[in-house]
Amino acid sequence: MDWKEFLTDKAISNYIVFLAGLLVGLLGHVIKNLLKKPDLIEVEKQKETSLISLSDEAKDRLNITYDEQPVKEFYLTLFGFRNKADKAIENVELKLYLDTEYGQQKLYEMKFEDPLEDLRTSKSEVKCVVQESGEHFLRIQFPFINCYKLNKDEILLKVYSPKPIKAIRLVGGGKEWNSKFFDRVEYNEKLERMVRNSSSVGNLIASSIYLLLKKKR
């Protein structure tokens, strides 16, 4: 066969079309991967409440204990963990960093409410870690979390403490998954303040839209 047949105008055109198609396909694959959102585990601070409601005078005269230890203030902070993906996410490890002011307090107790506890390959764990830098975080580990949409698999973490728990950031991610923190308590407080302070319906709507967009980031 004459090699010149591979260099005719028609052959060269076919080569160009083939290479262009290959380039477009590769570019499309790269763009698709870049735009694809990773699976998400959402951690939400759902509740913060004082379990002791007494006047200062009464607190000084009453002896209140928890696990045989005297307490003056007693707060419950509730965190929810949901897998927003369409499939289970395994080997989940998260670090929930705490505000410096309240983060250095000694926590009374941390415990899970887990509807699928008996089905997990190993127990979920939570531990308060103190770093040399002074930062504190809760290290939280789950063997897996099922899809919330299909299985309603939500894990709750109850934290009992002398003062409220304020989380400032969440660190955690793995192969094809990431995590996001949302403070619903703070969100509702801001919304209530805006309702009280808004001078017009327009300002209230604009402020509500701003908060909604901020939540979705």
Name residue 146's amino acid. Answer: N
User: Are 207 and 198 in contact, with CB atoms under 8 Å apart?
Assistant: yes
C-alpha–C-alpha distance, residues 26 and 11, integer Å: 23
Q: In the chain, count of helices (H) and strands (E)?
A: 6, 12
Report, as an integer, the average pLDDT of 147-167.
Answer: 90
43 or 123, higher pLDDT: 43
189 Cβ contact list (under 8 Å, min separation 6): none
Sign of torsion, CA 182 185 191 194? negative
Q: How far is it, in rounded angstroms, from Cα 142 to Cα 92?
A: 5
Q: What is the mean pLDDT of residues 146-174?
A: 90
Alpha carbon 183 to its chain centroid, in Å, reads: 9
Q: What is the pLDDT of residues 100-144, one digit of tens each?
A: 776 677 888 999 998 888 877 788 999 988 887 778 899 999 999
Q: Give 160's strand partners.
A: 76, 109
What pLDDT sits at residue 65?
81
